[in-house]
Amino acid sequence: MPDISIIIPVYNGEKYIKKCIDSVINQTKKELEIIIINDGSTDNTENLIKEYKDKRIKYFKNTNHGIGYTRNYGISKSTGKYIMFLDSDDYIEKTACEKLFNKIEKNNLDIVICDFYKDYETSIEEIHTGSFNDSSLKDNPNIITEYLSPWAKLYSSKLIKDNKIKFVEDLKYEDAPFVIEALDKANKIGKIDECLNYYVIHNNSETTVRDIKCFDILKIIDKIRKYTKNKDYLKDKIDKLTVRIITNYTIQQRVQSDKKVAMKFIDEAFAYLKKEVPDYKNNKYFINRGYRKIIEKNKLLTKLYCRLYLK
């Protein structure tokens, strides 16, 4: 059994996949299983992957199903004691696997989290999300507000598989419910205060493109709220998360490809806020938002702001 299964879904990733794979095969820790799932790429991705002869690589090719299905498929094929998720346009420090593995083993953790870099391709920014002692989500609900990406983490395979934790397969923004359930089910969560993961931000990434799928974020938030409905220790954090995500996505409609879609999304987003967090204008999220909160709290001002940017 390998110590770590690294799951890498890829779709049309010819520009970045080699740097991603190179960062994995050159890890100081060698006891790895590298699971690469080609989600129906139509570019040169497959040929680039097949250039590698490393026996630790397990390559699978599917028709296009989306990243949620592909990550779940990777989980089903994994045999490692621990699981790591790595996006095909991201990469990791040479010592990432070794440091995460040593921490999770030494402290008997279910999940270990690390800090990360934002790689803008022309500059790199360190992101430090704050320290905390080994804990559980129930004892430290603050963990949920900063660590909702599936990457920059090492998970116990037993935690994921025994609890049948899955990514949402039919919606965009599928990762947050998975991470929240994993954090919630974990008995002990730890943190390494060191940047080990590089998160690459580029113009065509899933996180920068806004289209008709923006409505999926409301369904994702609803799934999160339903899952945490009876978890009183998370109520304030989930309300704050709801306000943060929705106001962020309403403002992001300034780069929406369709003006009508943008205005419709803003209407539905504010309606959802009023229904689920009636006192949202007084939410603690706005404390540090400065002048921006004037726009973010107001539907008409948000629409006006976005219209100024829309063509």
The pLDDT value given to residue 154: 98
Instruction: Name the band, by pLDDT with cuts 50, 70 and 90, for residue 213.
Output: confident
Task: Give the mean model confidence (pLDDT) for residues 138-153.
Answer: 92
pLDDT at residue number 6: 98
pLDDT digits (tens, 9 = 90+) for 83-93: 999 999 999 99
56 in Cβ contact with 32 (< 8 Å): yes
What residue ranges define each of the domains in the chain, with the CATH number in brackets? 4-200 (3.90.550.10), 212-309 (no CATH)
* pLDDT tens per residue across span 257-293: 889 999 999 999 999 999 999 999 999 999 999 999 9
Higher model confidence: residue 174 or residue 126? Answer: 126
Task: Give residue 203's pLDDT band: very low, low, confident or very high (50, 70, 90).
Answer: low
Question: Is residue 131 predicted with pLDDT exceeding 60?
Answer: yes
Of 89 and 130, the structure prediction assigns the larger pLDDT to 89
pLDDT band at 147 (very low <50, low <70, confident <90, very high): confident
How many Å apart are CA 199 and CA 71, to the nearest integer? 17
Contact 101, 108 (CB under 8 A): no
Residue 204 has a pLDDT of 54
In this structure, are residues 113 and 197 in contact, taking their beta carbons and an 8 Å threshold? no
What mean pLDDT comes out for the span 154-172?
96
pLDDT of residue 160: 98
Q: Is the pLDDT of residue 310 over 90?
A: no
- Confidence at residue 257, expressed as pLDDT on a 0 to 100 scale: 81
Residue 121 has pLDDT above 80, yes or no: yes
Please report the pLDDT score of residue 208 as a whole number. 47
Q: What percentage of the chain carries pLDDT values higher than 90?
A: 88
pLDDT score recorded for residue 206: 46
Query: How do residues 20-61 score in pLDDT, each as one tens digit?
Result: 999 999 999 999 999 999 999 999 999 999 999 999 999 999
Identify the pLDDT of residue 311: 53
Tokens of 256: 């929406």
Chain-wide mean pLDDT for the chain? 94
Note whether 237 and 142 are within 8 A (CB): yes
Mean local confidence (pLDDT), 74-89: 98
